[in-house]
Amino acid sequence: MADSAKGQALAPPPKLERDLRSRLLGEYGILIIVVVMAAALSFLQPQYFLSAQNVTNIVRQIGMNALLALGMYLVILTAGIDLSVGSVMALAIMLLAMADQAGWPWPIVILIGPAVGTLIGLINGLGITLLRLPHPFIMTLGTLNTVRGICYLVSDGHPVSGISDPVRFIGIADIPLPFGGEFAVIPVSAILLLVCYFGVAIFLQRVSLGRHIFAVGGNPQAARVSGINVDGVLVFVYATSGFFAGLAALLMAGRTGSGYPNLGIGAELDAIAAVIIGGASFFGGRGTILGVFAGVLVMGLLRNGLNLMDISAFWQQTLIGIVILLAVWIDVLRRRSGRRT
């Protein structure tokens, strides 16, 4: 369509250089940060950081936040927020641990986490759409407290340990690699993460409902007059966020072998941080799966690296705060360079 001397072509000619710069900063900027962090850590801790043991350790450590952030990403794409995921995870892990202890068959026990999560997610979604509360912040702030309270009530505040091996499989098992020695393994949880991330990525790209999530975040009014069931899309994203919180509970049940009622206090903020570091817009409609994963990695590498270097956890939190601000500032720069009209 180069023959646009006449007609509706009113935009300035494409500026390749500008496009490239905005792409570098935007889509790959966060990946560059991940690579730089990994390079710095392998330089500072050459004997530990890239060891097979440490790498699988990182993969295991990021699992929970990776799943929570994936669900949170869908919610943030619709310009919403889900504060309840930490509490949902705690209730899910207590219920599945108690069911396991009561001798329920493991194929049912492993479904409890995702089922409980989806149910509470549905309640969030229905509350937001049916009760017309002014912002999802309020509905999920309510469930954050209520669900955590229910979690303490059902568990009486006590942890439940000794979760059976088949239930722990997804969270703890490793598939040994044919080379590289004792610690060269692929954790089953890593495979679960890959499946979830690929699944959501394809869903968001290729399925109408996935595109409608972007439309609802971009312009809910446009979505509505296009015949999209906006409320249905919202209920779906909160239910999915709950589902992933429940799946994260199953992962943690496997990793730790026990259910404890104060699991995931503040986990919702880590999930939000990962999504925002990954370049998704808080105002909805913008973001990439790759960015979310990079955001999760940045937080994971930061924690791991500071642990390896024996720097106190107080510094970890300080730095994560700075990284959030830095990442969003890069995004602001990108937008400015990408759209100067």
| Binding site residues, another protein, CB under 8 A | 1, 3-4, 6-11, 14, 206-209, 211-212, 214-215, 217-219, 221-223, 225-228, 285-286, 339
- When the beta carbons of 215 and 234 are compared against another protein, the nearer one is 215
Helix (H) or strand (E) holding 176: strand 174-176
Q: Which is nearer to another protein, 195 or 207 (CB)?
A: 207
Q: How far is the CB of 337 from another protein (least distance, A)?
A: 14
Beta-bridged to residue 176, according to DSSP, are 185
Q: Which is nearer to another protein, 163 or 228 (CB)?
A: 228
Least distance between another protein and beta carbon 201 (Å):
14
Euclidean distance between CA atoms 155 and 81, whole angstroms: 27
54, 41 in Cβ contact below 8 A?
no
Minimum distance of another protein from residue 230's CB (angstroms): 11
Specify the residue, 120 or 215, whose C-beta has the smaller distance to another protein: 215
Tokens representing 141 are 């702030």
Q: Which is nearer to another protein, 172 or 228 (CB)?
A: 228
Q: Is the dihedral of CA 88, 89, 94, 95 positive or negative?
A: positive
Shortest reach from residue 240's CB to another protein, in Å: 14
Burial class (CB in 10 A: 0-12, 13-18, 19+), 52: middle
User: What's the sign of the alpha-carbon dihedral 198, 200, 201, 203?
Assistant: positive
CB 202 → another protein: shortest distance, Å? 10
Smallest distance from the beta carbon of 334 to another protein, in angstroms? 14
Q: How far is CA 117 from CA 83, 147, 249, 302, in A?
A: 13, 11, 9, 29
**Computed over its alpha carbons, how large is the radius of gyration of the chain?**
21
- Cβ distance to another protein smaller for residue 226 or 318: 226
What's CA 151's distance to the chain center, in Å? Answer: 22
